[in-house]
Amino acid sequence: MTKKAILFVLLFLSLGLLWYKNTHQAEIASYLGDYYFKKNDMLKAQQFYEKAFELGANDTKQRDLYVNSIINSPMNTDSQEKLVKFIQLPSNDGAKLKAEYFLYDFKREIHRKYPGNYISQAPFNQKIIRWSKIPITYDFIKTGKEPAYFEREVENAFTEWEKATDHTLLFSRERKNPNIVISFNEINPADQAQKKYVVAYTIPNLENDKLQSTEIKFYLKEPDGEYFSPNQIYNTALHEIVHAIGFMGHSYDRENIMYLSKDSASVLNDTRETLTKADIDTVILLYKIKPDITNTDKPEGEYIPPVVLGGKEDVNRAKTKEAKNYIRKAPSLPIGYIDLAESYAAKQEYSNAIKALEQAERLADTDDVKYIVYYNLGVVYYYIDHLELAKDYVNRAMEIQNTEELNYLLAEIYTKEKDYEKACAKYESLIAQDPKNIDYTINLTNIYITNHQYLKARQVLKNHIKNNPQDKNNPRFQAYGILRAFL
């Protein structure tokens, strides 16, 4: 056989093998899953079974082996996420039922370890927020008008939470970029009918799903002009610190420090409050959940939110109830209306969300609150295709603070308007600002594909992989087929 003929045969065989691989990928992945399962290499087996499921494989036996491989592995957050993702697949069989039962029992075991907890009230906009680094830092912005005991009693409250959690939580005073900022305001918005109700409130500062800071805003005086007492400040600080570390809701039990009207009752009685076991268990459990929003790029935890809290419907039901309760107790504060709007938006009840946000806008007394309201109004109007109004609210928010999340929303609005030139320019700017963000890359790539600019689309993907080589095999890039070749 001539050299040319040999090369031709080799080329033919290579093309044949490539064709077979491309047309039988699901079968090959399933076979490799079985192979590694028999070798007792469960992680490898899981990887190949997952690949097979992505490619459409639906063999009942392999689905069962996959679930067994997970539930017999350490139940870390990776294993939990795999089971949650598995039960969301469209198939209904014994493997899915086994996964559901296992997660149900696992959830019960978690809650037995922390009895009486009210963690279901923790989420903010259906997401778990908390700090990832311990100690959590704090500092004061003082007016010079507050009595010295204000600062002292807030610090006493920090110390009490450290002791109560057996130092699971630690706090440290830090002047440079503290996690928690405590400020004081002489003007109390409560009227005489709500006398002694509003002592303080807490606002999270989020940017592009990153927790930047939280601010506890104390009032100095009651509506009648008297300074709040040491006990009143201490009790309120115990409550607001929990918000500042990420718990965004309230308890429905009057005994717990996070009961919505707890500060009202303690102010009236002027007695020093103590933390309940439910308070402590809730906070400890919060700091064992892998957060959706935090201050690091790689959040960690023992449990994932869906395992502890249930699905999105469960979370949203709890938050709607919480927001309505908050509004009943504190109708003059905007935060309850913002929470209610977010729960309505999650259910796609956009007209109700707008009404709640408009009420929050009327009550907003700080730029921080106005920013949150304007941003959320921009999002809601984007969802219902009122794009001019959406841009108007984005611009209002930008006058307060020009953030990455606002620019992302603006890029999405331009895309929906089919103003692709502005959308591309905005995404290019966002990618330059945050080259690790895969959403920016995917959205810009999709715009170029929509406009048949395939070379530009491929260049965007190539640049992302160059800057983020760990994303080369990211499943989110699978859909781009030939555009991914040789990246």
User: Does 486 have pLDDT greater than 70?
Assistant: no
pLDDT at 271: 85
C-alpha to C-alpha distance for 83 and 86, rounded to whole angstroms:
5
Instruction: Report yes or no: 238 and 257 within 8 Å, Cβ to Cβ.
Output: yes
pLDDT class for 192, splitting at 50, 70, 90?
very low
* pLDDT category of residue 4 using cuts at 50, 70 and 90: low
Residue 38, classified by CB atoms within 10 Å of its CB into exposed (0-12), middle (13-18) or buried (19+), is exposed
Query: Domains, the chain, ranges and CATH?
Result: 19-113 (no CATH), 136-314 (3.40.390.10), 418-487 (1.25.40)
pLDDT tier, 20 (very low <50, low <70, confident <90, very high otherwise): very low
227 - beta bridge partners? 221
pLDDT digits (tens, 9 = 90+) for 210-239: 899 999 999 888 877 889 999 999 999 999
pLDDT value of position 15 = 43
pLDDT for 268 beyond 70: no
Per-residue pLDDT at 31: 84
- Listed residue (134, 185, 224) closest to 369, CA to CA: 185
pLDDT digits (tens, 9 = 90+) for 173-191: 999 999 999 998 866 655 4
19-24 CB contacts, 8 Å cutoff, 24+ apart: none
Query: Which pLDDT tens digit goes with each residue over 116-139?
Result: 899 988 988 788 999 999 999 999
Q: What percent of the chain has pLDDT over 90?
A: 53
| Average pLDDT across the chain, whole number | 86
State mean pLDDT over 98-112.
94
SS3 127: strand
Per-residue pLDDT, averaged over 290-297, amounts to 94
429-464: pLDDT as tens digits: 999 998 988 899 999 999 999 999 988 988 998 899
